[in-house]
Structure 1
Amino acid sequence: MSKKGNYHDNAATASFFSLLIKVRVKRKIYPTRALARADIFDYIEGFCNPRRNHGANGVLSSVRYEKQY
């Protein structure tokens, strides 16, 4: 974490949550919190980590980045 007021502090996290809302959660009504958690977990573990390339780590997926380093 950097000093208070540094706008680069959580840019990657803010970008991820923005994408999550646009792609998965927007206009979706979950009957229970457990179903919402399961759906979001499936999205992260099934698409974001193994397949989606991230600019912050050299345009690799999270899984490939971890294997490489």
Structure 2
Amino acid sequence: MPIYEFGCKDCGNEFEELVFSRDAVPPCPRCGSMQTEKLMSACASRVQGSGPDPEVLKNLSCGSGGG
């Protein structure tokens, strides 16, 4: 049961939801709208070398930051 990120088309809220089916679309927890869509997640990856490039790191994020 993966956690997916969703965005509400009505109020713009972004949230994470544990779903039982890949096709499930939960209602928005803020406004209750069913006009939600699954969002594409972005995650940072580890690169070998002397250290991470600060310019690359500032453009990467994981999670939606929603509640």
TM-score, normalised to structure 1, is 0.21
Higher helix proportion, which one? 1
Structure having greater relative contact order (Cα 8 Å, sep ≥ 6): 2
TM-score, normalised to structure 2, is 0.21
